[in-house]
Chain A
Amino acid sequence: QQQVKQSPQSLIVQKGGISIINCAYENTAFDYFPWYQQFPGKGPALLIAIRPDVSEKKEGRFTISFNKSAKQFSLHIMDSQPGDSATYFCAVSLTLNKFYFGSGTKLNVKP
């Protein structure tokens, strides 16, 4: 059973544009929502994370929007750059005991 559903599977954005990736979950007990970035040949690395008691978190060009009632959260990348081209994974966690990852979004930022 997939704990978190991620979309789109792939995304092409022009340099300077906004990249938006969405995730949805069912279990309301999840209490930690991180996003990971993965470059080819490397393991994923934490990009940004949010707790369910806030609706938005911003770090530089990266923003997480969290909608608790809809059980959805999204990653927004402002002013997207070619260096942002990577695969992005959302994840959900229950008291940090186990992390479930989405299926990934391959982002390609065109120069």
Chain B
Amino acid sequence: GAGVSQSPSNKVTEKGKDVELRCDPISGHTALYWYRQRLGQGLEFLIYFQGNSAPDKSGLPSDRFSAERTGESVSTLTIQRTQQEDSAVYLCASSFPGYGSPLHFGNGTRLTVT
């Protein structure tokens, strides 16, 4: 079956521009996560969606970052006025709710801000 799909796979943008990253989770997965992975570093939690509950936005690094999710499907992560320090791989993951359900990751979007 289809896994988590992220697009674009690569994005190069100029400093100050806005970018939108897309995530298509696995069908039926009500939980959806966004993580940021800087080069050679770990995964930094950004935001978590669970069903129709209010999202947990506690990991968003600044108000330039926002994310939306349409029901239990597609999610978009938007970064406004991009800065060079935003350069990273942005990973999306989805899972079923409940204990022991693993996160299924997409292959990420590599964002380069020039």
Contact = CB atoms under 8 A, between A and B. Distances in A.
Interface of A: 6, 31-32, 34, 36, 41-46, 49, 51, 89, 95-104
Contacts, number: 57
Nearest to A90: B42
Given A32-B99, A97-B56, A43 B107 contact: yes
B93 interface: yes
Given A41-B107, A43-B108, A34 B42 contact: no
A-side binding surface: helix, strand, loop or mixed?
Answer: loop
A32 B105 CA distance: 18
Contacts of B103: 34, 36, 44, 46, 99
A96 B107 contact: no
B42 A43 contact: no
Interface pairs A-B: 8 shortest CB-CB: A43-B105, A46-B102, A101-B43, A103-B42, A101-B42, A104-B42, A43-B107, A44-B105
B91 interface: yes
The range of chain B's interface size is 20 to 34
Given A43-B4, A43-B91, A98 B99 contact: no
Nearest to B6: A43
B107 A99 contact: no
Contacts of B41: 103-104
A98 B105 contact: no
A41 B10 CA distance: 11
A91 to B, nearest CB: 8
25 contacts: A31-B99, A32-B99, A32-B100, A36-B103, A42-B107, A43-B91, A43-B106, A44-B43, A44-B91, A44-B103, A44-B105, A45-B105, A46-B102, A51-B100, A89-B42, A96-B95, A96-B97, A96-B99, A96-B101, A98-B45, A99-B33, A99-B45, A104-B40, A104-B41, A104-B42
